[in-house]
Amino acid sequence: MKHVYAAALLGAAFVTSANAQEIKIGYALAEDSHYGAGAKAFEESLTASLGDQFSFRHFPSSGLGGEREVLEGLQLGTVEMTIASDGTLTNFVPEVGVLGIPFLLRDMDHARTVLDGEIGQEMLAKFDDAGLKALAWGEQGFRHITSNRGAIETPEDMAGLKIRTMENPVHLEAFRALGAAPTPMAWPEVIGALEQGAIDGQENPLSVIVSAKLNEVQKYLTLDGHVYSSTIILVSPSLWGQLDDEQQAAFQQAATDAVAAMRAYVDDVEQSGVASMQEAGMEVNELSPEQKAVFREALAGPYSNYEAQFGKELMDRIQAIE
């Protein structure tokens, strides 16, 4: 029955009307998030370029399932498009994991320059062999820790902390080295797990912390910026293969416009998010550069492993980019 259902979805994906091919786009967060901003900008750009050749059905808030399920749908051709987080994408292209190394990317400008440049484009191309078509790097921002156990100021404060992470081996190794108990969990399960006390906290960029209203289930927010978190805008190869040159160019431009919208959203939240969370009752503390250096030193062991896994040369290339 699964094969019959998948075939039926695939057959119907491009025949929604006489004039429009339907594109189902699924993503993990709400429409009023950076994911939603990117998806909306993509649709508007494509419509401006191609008129009514395509119609969109948006499935926010994991309406098509978790990120891994949606990505597998793209591979099968049952879903046409998604915006997915880099943590989940490491399961499909492990090399992407290098971008999740804690404190490797210095700031937003550095991260954007790396992703828009040669290194970022090399990584996007690797998704072809994974049965996915990657169009552009989107953005979430630098990740911070929320918790119900207390503020995080030193590595010792991480001891035994049950913290939800993405399915990213790089993140898992780092948190274990700091003494935490990282718990990979699909995003749709996180709020319930926090409410029930199954986990103490989670880590995400302010764009997610704010849009998901984590102040309703978390007391403390520590601004440590341990990892820059990206996303990728992807389409199904079965859709991409049906597009002519003009349509492919329009899709690529739409992805560029979506990235601009996501980055604008993140920039806005970086400016206003902390204040909004404080007003909502969260207790906020920010690590100083000296405190971050202590965390970086505590990750010396994982860093040696990262160099062996991803190559010291690649890590040096990333750090050398101005």
Query: What does the pLDDT look like over 210-232, one tens digit per residue?
Result: 989 999 999 999 999 999 999 99
Beta bridge partners of 59: 26
Q: Residue 50's pLDDT is what?
A: 98
Q: Residue 18's pLDDT is what?
A: 55
Tell me how far apart the alpha carbons of residues 92 and 127 are, in angstroms, rounded to a whole number: 8
Q: Residue 207's pLDDT is what?
A: 87
Query: What does the pLDDT look like over 4-21, one tens digit per residue?
Result: 434 444 444 444 445 799
Q: Residue 53's pLDDT is what?
A: 98
- Report the phi/psi class of residue 179: left, alpha or beta, with left for phi > 0 and alpha for psi in -120 to 50: left
Which CATH number is 2-320 given? Answer: 3.40.190.170
Q: Residue 232's pLDDT is what?
A: 98
CB-based contacts of 181: which residues, under 8 Å, 6+ apart? 160, 161, 162, 163, 175
For the chain, give every domain's residue range.
Answer: 2-320
pLDDT tens series, the chain, 322 aa: 444 434 444 444 444 445 799 999 999 999 999 999 999 999 999 999 999 999 999 999 999 999 999 999 999 999 999 999 998 898 999 999 999 999 999 999 999 999 999 999 999 999 999 999 999 999 999 999 999 999 999 999 999 999 999 878 899 999 999 999 999 998 999 999 999 999 999 999 998 999 899 999 999 999 999 999 999 999 999 999 999 999 999 999 999 999 999 999 999 998 899 999 999 999 999 999 999 999 999 999 999 999 999 999 999 999 999 9
* Largest interatomic CA distance in the chain: 62
- Encoded tokens for 134: 């990657």
Query: CA torsion sign, 244 to 245 to 247 to 252?
Result: positive
Quote the mean pLDDT of the chain.
93
